[in-house]
Structure 1
Amino acid sequence: MDCIELTGIRCYGYTGYLDEERVLGQWFEVDATLWVDLAAAGNSDRIEETLDYRQTIAAIQKLVETSKFALIERLAEAIAQSILESERVTRVKVRLSKPNAPIPNFNGKISVTIDREKAIEG
């Protein structure tokens, strides 16, 4: 299956375990891989035959900016489920990172990666 990869989506949001994270906010980074059949678009050169990733990026940004979850795992799940609502996407992998986690003496990045598939009906 073909993929569209969206990387380096940087947004300011209010998800976090600590109260101040949900009040003051922090930066998040999102990478997403979307499994989509690109054959028709590859042959036709028409955006109607593919996933308009501008809309997907906007949806991710809105979720990060408006959600106030305690856990980044929950935010990553919300992003994945939102992307799977597109009829063209059959599977999605979301990597959500907090580049500046409020942990004393820690200068690294915290990330979660989840991989979800659309439920098979029938």
Structure 2
Amino acid sequence: MTTQLDRIQVTGIRAFGYHGVFAEERRDGQEFRADVTLWLDTRPAAASDDVADTVHYGEVSEAVAAVLGGEPVDLVETLSQRVADAVLAFDGVQRVTVTVHKPDAPITVPFDDVTITITRDRA
């Protein structure tokens, strides 16, 4: 029998980072945002009403922000993977969906946002 997984979502986590291919992105930096959906079984926490029996979304948010503002990478694909790895390091998280937003990407035409969304499973 397969356990049904529940979802915890945190949207709009923000941090200033120096990611990008271009020298000015690495020099000047920009704000990055992330939305994360954690897939886990919340029944133990619901039964105990104890945060120790779930994933603390505040701690997850801090870990995501640390990646967004951390070691620079060229690609948002790499940044997204690093966010996913950080979230999957939390006990209980079985799957994560990560959307990284780069709203100030160096694009020469009007646009609202650049995003990449990935889903990774604990393996």
Give the shorter-chain TM-score range.
over 0.9
CA shift, 1:66, in A, is 1.4
Report if the CA contact (8 A) 1:38-1:50 is conserved: yes
For residues 107 and 5 of structure 1, the distance between their equivalents in structure 2, rounded to whole angstroms, comes to: 26
Partner of 1:27: 31
**Cα contact 2:100–2:116 (8 A) shared by 1:** yes
Runs of 4+ deviating beyond 3 Å:
none
- TM (normalized to structure 1)? 0.93
Structure 2: 5+ residue runs without aligned partners? none
3-state SS of the aligned residue for 2:74?
Answer: coil
> Does the alignment pair 1:62 with 2:66?
yes
Paired residue type of 2:70: T
- TM-score (norm. length: structure 2): 0.92
Q: Contact conserved, 1:100 with 1:107, CA < 8 A, in 2?
A: no
**Number of residue-to-residue matches in the alignment:** 119
- Residue 105 of structure 1 is matched in structure 2 by 109
Q: Deviations over 1:73-112 (max 9, x none)?
A: 0000000011111121000000001112111123321000
The unaligned stretches of length 5 or more in structure 1 are none
Change (3 A) 1:17 1:106: farther
2: CA distance between counterparts of 1:19 and 1:37?
43
Root-mean-square deviation (CA), in Å? 0.9
